[in-house]
Structure 1
């Protein structure tokens, strides 16, 4: 089993979308063989003046390893929920993400993870699109 935790940056791909520079992720995946299931949890916070948008995502799906060795690339396609809160109001939307990355071994049981994902969530007729970049440690 792989557990990865680290920093996540989210850029909104809508016109005048901005970014959420404060974020974190936790990923847990079965690591037996080239394919396995992954659970990805993330948090992002974006502030504008005195207003804060807090976004939580929970997604699951298949992850595919593309090699072994010191650098271990992977791809994943996940689906799940996005939960937003702003000024005491909340909203939940459904969607998913596709992307990948590489785990670079730095020791027997520790790797540095670099990753990028395209996310899209469907919210009352709107498509919320983001690019998530992450860096962290995999154990």
Structure 2
């Protein structure tokens, strides 16, 4: 029997893939909002700093141990994606302006914490239902 704080490898891989996909969606929405061309490579060019920041956060908190947990995994991945992303953008000469930081904080919180919160609520609801 496995510990409730530990998860299976497929769950960790799935969660990491969802995080990456949502960061790509964030980048795609931003590029579309600013009418930037070069859709495929442009999205990756925008997303890579945030993906790298999220990956570093995954490693730092060993998020694979409980990848769907809001704390610490979800919060670390969210803050890592934003802080790491902005730092890498600044280092590589990309723009880092306060409105963009605020939008990234809010958008990535909704994306990276939102689905984890929904899953946590679903699990809590399932556990609290009386069994027939």
Return the TM-score normalized by structure 2: 0.32
The structure with more helix, counted as a fraction of residues: 2
Find the structure with the greater CA-based Rg. Answer: 2
The structure with more strand, counted as a fraction of residues: 1
